[in-house]
Amino acid sequence: MKAMTINQYGKTTPLEITDLPIPNVGERDVLVEIHAASINPIDFKIRDGKVKLLLSYKMPLVLGNDFSGKVIQTGSKVKKYKIGDEVYGRPRKNRIGTFAEYLSVHEDDLALKPDNLTFVEAASLPLVGLTTWQAFNEILQLKPEQKILIHAGAGGVGTFAIQLAKEMGAYVATTASEKGYDLVSSLGADEVINYRKEPFEEILKGYDAVFDTLGGDSLNRSFQILKPHGKIVSVSAVPNGRFAVENNMGFIKRLLFSFVSRNITALEKKFSVDYHFLFMKPSGEQLTKIKQLVEKGRIRPVIDRVYSLEEAQEALLYVETGRAKGKVVVEVKKPI
């Protein structure tokens, strides 16, 4: 099968087209013929070696963290799916590799794709959908009429997050540039802060939650807008000691993460705010709930550009620029 691989970690390491064997199928796995996969920031973070403390891979490595496609083979103990089913999903972290023609994935990590979406549209949702679902439901426990700031509302995660937050009844503020203003407003954002002209921390006060997709200075300033005991969940900053404890990591990693997050911990104490780092987990069950929202018209995918498999390197570079509005998708198999 054709796949886009890297042979070593490094920011300048290019994706290269490689011929690899079709993956083996375990007793609870399904073999998916991939029709489309989306680009996510985790792809270039893995390529750069920035998450080696959390994830370790052998080379050559096929990148790609979510997909849509058709089931073409099932393991002997698979009960949820049959050959021909149209599915979408996010494979578990030790089995990534969706920039390829085929993927073997555990049956618990996928769901039937929304009936009203194309494969390209469906492939844009699993990672951002699961990330947001877990942030809002499991960590922030977002409730109707609560106020949440969603950073980078026009980005891949942000476009989904605005829609889910509104579906949950929250008041949504978001940051965007002039070019993203119409998009985030059309998705339901109640208040849009032009991050190039307006310091959001001087405008927003008394918020219940922040969903951080940027890290850095934007995260640091976010503590100022929260009411006491408000919550921040980040997918772009550093894990802290709490994350290490919750994920049963060893003493050395707990110590290391506590050290690298010491500035964030200081801000937590200063503003009486809870900070959480999210490392999303696959869930076919949650993807089924997202499918239901999509089929009801409550959430729609936002696609910026579509590339071919051979153009995956170009697609990755485009997402790295930060200019994408919504998701960038790699179409592996074009419709007949």
Helix axes 312-320, 41-48, angle to 10 degrees: 100
Q: What is the pLDDT of residues 280-333, one digit of tens each?
A: 999 999 999 999 999 999 999 999 999 999 999 999 999 999 889 999 999 999
Measure the CA–CA gap between 151 and 289, rounded to whole angstroms: 24
Q: What is the pLDDT of residue 254?
A: 85
Token representation of residue 25: 């199928």
CA-CA-CA-CA torsion sign (194, 197, 199, 205):
negative
Q: Which of 43-57, 75-89, 219-233, 268-282 has the weakest average pLDDT?
A: 43-57
pLDDT tops 80 at residue 192: yes
- The residues, ordered by sequence, that sit 6+ positions from 313 with a Cβ below 8 Å of its Cβ are 4, 14, 15, 16
Average pLDDT over the chain, rounded to an integer = 95
Paired residues of 306 in beta bridges: 329
- Name the pLDDT band for 98 (thresholds 50, 70, 90): very high
| Of 52 and 73, more confident | 73
> How many CB atoms lie under 10 A from the CB of residue 41?
18
pLDDT at 83: 98
**Residue range 122-181, pLDDT digits in tens:** 999 999 999 999 999 999 999 999 999 999 999 999 999 999 999 999 999 999 998 999
Q: Is the pLDDT of residue 54 over 90?
A: no
pLDDT at 240 over 90: no
Q: Cα separation of 147 and 47, whole Å? A: 35
Better-scored residue on pLDDT, 249 or 312: 312
Question: Quick one: tokens of 92?
Answer: 């578990």
Per-residue model confidence as pLDDT tens digits over 254-294: 888 898 889 999 999 999 999 999 989 999 999 999 999 99
Is the pTM of the predicted complex or chain greater than 0.85? Answer: yes
pLDDT at 336 over 80: no
What 8-state DSSP symbol labels residue 100?
B
Residue 183: pLDDT band by 50, 70, 90 thresholds? very high
**Minimum mean pLDDT among 5-9, 22-26, 222-226, 332-336: which range?**
332-336
pLDDT, position 237: 85
Handedness of CA 206, 207, 210, 214 (dihedral sign): negative
Three-state secondary-structure class, residue 237: coil
Determine what percent of the chain is predicted with pLDDT higher than 70: 100
pLDDT at residue 53 greater than cutoff 80: no
Amino acid identity for residue 173 in this structure: A
State residue 164's pLDDT score. Answer: 98
Residue carrying structure tokens 């198999």: 333
Task: Spell out the domains of the chain, with CATH numbers in brackets.
Answer: 2-125+301-331 (3.90.180.10), 128-277 (3.40.50.720)
**Which residue, among 295, 288, 334, 279, has the nearest Cα to 311 in the 3D structure?**
334
Distance separating alpha carbons of residues 138 and 79, to the nearest angstrom? 28
